[in-house]
Amino acid sequence: MDHFLLKLKKSSLLVNSLFDSYKIAIWTKIATSVAVLVFATTISLSFFFPALDFRLNLLITGLVFLGMPHGALDVYLLRQMLQTKQRVLIGLLIYIGFSLPILFVWPLYPTACFLFFMTYSLFHFTDSDMQDSNSPLKLKVIEFLARVSLPFCLPFMFHESETLKLVSWIHPDVNLMKLNSVFVFLGSLSLVFVLIHTVLGFIRFFKNFKEADITFFEPLVVAILFIFINPLYAFGIYFCFIHSIKHVVNVLMSVKIPSPVTILPYWLVPLAGIPILFYLNSLNQEILGQRVFQYIIVVLSSLALPHSVLIRYGKSKLMIK
């Protein structure tokens, strides 16, 4: 009997150690669950509304469940930085006030504002999406150069007409035709660095197989995404399902949050936006669609500036990775 109990105890220890090795942080579970919810919602909407484009369903639900909350989590960063409620309130007012000039200046200088928005957005995407590793400085520079131009310049290279149409939707007076050769050059340069980065990643992978990290594939995957897919859907997939997911997990793992329940409003409140967006889409009026698209981009671009500054400050203070 004792021998049997000893074997049972050893077996239980083995099983426990096996399960312990596969423990996942609660924040990762939340982020993964949200991603599953996005796809489940998309499939459900496509089932009940078969006339709607599946890709549109995917982008809308991705924006609602991931894109919008990814920016809303800035509140937690401000709380951790500023501590007191009074300081947090002042910080939020400064945050919002920082975005107002973009809203007012955009109609006056649409081309300059768009280029400014594109510049700080690309820097923010690259700064946030670069892998957190102990890579040498040279490899980090190569990764930065490989990533920085992909989301905007590759669409100009491979989908020029669709990209110019999207830009005209943002504002009809935005004129980028004179800069097309610049975008093509920067996009070509990025592709060269993507290939260099991928080759060096393979070399490091085989040299240090026990600590192998296949995330070096990501810039190549992003490049393929923007080369072969319509620019609107390519950017939506990149923003919602690469950039936003990584940012959400990063913030949830780095910032002190009292309970998982406290973050639920940031995912539940945006649900109100789904019927509104689908109602606007059901109207099937191109002019209205262009206006809605324009307003969304202008508002997001204005909020992206303080968001980018806050994330960079948080990274400089080692509050987030």
Residue 19 lies in a domain: no
**How many DSSP H helices and E strands does the chain contain?**
17, 0
In terms of Cα–Cα distance, which of 195, 114, 191 is closest to 149?
191
Q: Dump the DSSP string for 187-240.
A: HHHHHHHHHHHHHHHHHHHHHTGGG--GGGGHHHHHHHHHHHS-HHHHHHHHII
pLDDT over 80 (residue 319): no
pTM: 0.78
Cα(205)–Cα(247) distance, integer angstroms:
25
Residue 200 lies in a domain: yes
Residue 132 lies in a domain: yes
Residue 6 lies in a domain: no
Please report which confidence band the pLDDT of residue 3 belongs to, taking 50, 70 and 90 as the band edges: low
Residue 16 lies in a domain: no
Residues 6 or more apart in contact with residue 170 via CB below 8 angstroms: 110, 114, 293, 294, 297, 298
In terms of Cα–Cα distance, which of 308, 251, 296 is closest to 126?
308
Average confidence (pLDDT) over 166-171: 78
Bin 318: left if φ > 0, else alpha if -120 < ψ < 50, else beta.
left
Q: CA separation (Å) from 5 to 1, 11, 17, 53, 79?
A: 6, 10, 18, 60, 52
Average confidence (pLDDT) over 57-69: 74
Cα(131)–Cα(147) distance, integer angstroms:
11
pLDDT over 90 (residue 187): yes
Residue 233 lies in a domain: yes
Residue 18 lies in a domain: no
* Model pLDDT for residues 124-135, shown as the tens digit of each residue: 999 888 865 667
Domain count, the chain: 1
Question: Between 121 and 265, whose confidence is greater?
Answer: 121
pLDDT over 90 (residue 137): no
Residue 20 lies in a domain: no
Quick one: pLDDT at residue 293?
62
Mean pLDDT over the full length of the chain: 77
Q: Domain limits at 78?
A: 25-316
Residues 6 or more apart in contact with residue 35 via CB below 8 angstroms: 66, 241, 245
Please report which confidence band the pLDDT of residue 25 belongs to, taking 50, 70 and 90 as the band edges: low
Quick one: pLDDT at residue 150?
92
* Model pLDDT for residues 242-295, shown as the tens digit of each residue: 888 888 778 777 777 666 666 666 666 666 666 665 665 555 545 455 566 677
Burial state string for 56-68 with b = 16 or more CB within 10 A and e = fewer than 16 = bbbbbbbbbbbbb
Question: Between 115 and 284, whose confidence is greater?
Answer: 115
